[in-house]
Structure formats: C-alpha cells, structure tokens
Structure 1
C-alpha cells in the first residue's frame, strides 16, 4: 500500500502575514501552488503574486508556482461572488470545468507532495481549493492526504 501524498490548502484573507507564513512553515510546506484566477490585485496585500513569491522564498525557503489550470473562470467567479450566486451551482460548474480540463491527467500526485494550494478564501468550506483536492482524490483513488491550514 502506498502512502498518501501530503498536500495542504490555505487562504490569505482574515489573517496576518505572521500567522499565514507561520502556518505554512509549521506545516512543512515546500511549495505554494497559487490557484487564484487573479494573483496580482493590489487588494491581495502581502499575497500579491510577485511579493508572495519573494516572501515565501525569504521567510521560509518555500517555492512559489502559479497553477491557473486549477482556477475558476472569470465568468464563474463573477456569477458566484459579484452576483451572489448559489454555492451548489458554483461547485457543480467548477467540478465540470476541472473535468473538462482533465486536470487529473495533466498533473500527477507527486507534484502535490509537500505543496499547499493557495486561494483568498479564509476557510476551505466555500472555496475551490478544497474542490480541487476532492476532485483529484476521487480520480486518483485517495492519493492525497489533505490538510486545511
């Protein structure tokens, strides 16, 4: 029996930089996979893509990588966030998008070893980072051991 690949997820809102980086370092994260659609917004503060890559490297020796294939579309995000859409509708559309993109064939479990999927949502409950992990685990037979930081 193979050991499940450890992967984490984290959101950067409603937390301090100290708590955010502390959770990543404490969890032994080696790479942050940024699954946000937009990673350069001024509203992202310390989590703006270029700044975040620098902070991760300097503070924790953590690599940074964008993963746009694991992000929703603009239209999908707008329907949910701006138009205050229904979570179940968003969830089913997002899972259909992951299937359409065939992400389970474009990634391998090993690529997630020691990684942490980053999005903006403070908790994983209504965030696509959780859906990505669940989708892949379903298709990969539970290959990932997921921890939400």
Structure 2
C-alpha cells in the first residue's frame, strides 16, 4: 500500500479526563475504537461506554465504536491480571487468538484511518492495543502508521 493509514492508541488510566480528551482532540482523532472486552466497568470513570461516547462527540467531535473482536477473552485476561501471569505468555496467547479470529480478514485497513484504539493500560508497552496494531501491520504489510498518545 502506498498511503499509510494513520492510527493512534491511548489508555485511560493514570490520567485525568481533561488530559485524556485533550490528547485525542489534538491528535485529530475521528473515531475511537474501544478494544476492551468490558466497557461498562464502574472503575472506568469517564471511560464507561455511554459516557465516553457522549464526551468524545461533544469534546472531540469523534465517534465511538466498541470492537470486542480486538479484545482478549475473559480467560486470557484473568490469567494475566488476576493470576499475575507472564507477559510473554499473554502476548503469545493473544496473538494466537487474533489469528484464530482472522481479524485481518474481518477488518480492512481503511477502517482504521483517523482512528484511535482505546484500552485501559496507561502505556502501550504491556497492552493488547499495541499487539493489535503490530499483528495487523504484519498481515497488512505495514499499512498502519501507529502513534501511541
């Protein structure tokens, strides 16, 4: 592909609502794709699905989509979070899951133009949103130009 698809990623923990929405707005995000399995947790604060959709539209002029196809399963999450699992194992299992789901066939690169992948982790280093981008880039020949906010 000659034109790269600009994609950003962001996590909502360890930040304020003001800083979170300012980063999205200044990045020119047109749509936030929520890649969390569960998007209604009381612990999410301003990032609960209904509130988040409203705030994104009002503050940033951005749309909101929940896409659990890009989320780990409950079993994978519990093994890593609750049972304090190994990151390498989590990464391997999640990459296998994306392969089984064939996400690269069910989605298209142009669906990601101007999008921001959202999850809870404050940094992308040990977060599945980064793995989603890397996996898709591997399948799509580096079509995504990824920036972590």
TM-score for both structures, normalised by structure 1: 0.99
1:2 Cα offset (Å): 1.0
1:97 Cα offset (Å): 0.1
Q: Tell me whether 1:110 sits opposite 2:110 in the alignment.
A: yes
Structure 2 residue runs of 5 or longer lacking an equivalent are: none
Write out aligned runs for 1:22-41 (5 A): 22-41=22-41
1:85 Cα offset (Å): 0.1
Structure 1 residue runs of 5 or longer lacking an equivalent are: none
1:32 Cα offset (Å): 0.1
Write out aligned runs for 1:84-99 (5 A): 84-99=84-99
Deviations along 1:51-101, one digit per CA (max 9) or x if unpaired, are: 000000011110000111000000000000000000000000000000000
Write out aligned runs for 1:6-25 (5 A): 6-25=6-25
1:3 Cα offset (Å): 1.5
RMSD of aligned alpha carbons: 0.6
Counterpart Cα distance in 1 of 2:37 and 2:121 = 12
1:140 Cα offset (Å): 0.2
Counterpart Cα distance in 2 of 1:133 and 1:52 = 22
Write out aligned runs for 1:105-144 (5 A): 105-144=105-144
1:41 Cα offset (Å): 0.3
Counterpart Cα distance in 1 of 2:60 and 2:24 = 8
2:46 corresponds in structure 1 to 46
Counterpart Cα distance in 2 of 1:101 and 1:115 = 21
1:83 corresponds in structure 2 to 83
Q: Secondary structure at the match of 1:79?
A: helix
Counterpart Cα distance in 2 of 1:58 and 1:4 = 28
Runs of 4+, deviation exceeding 3 Å:
none
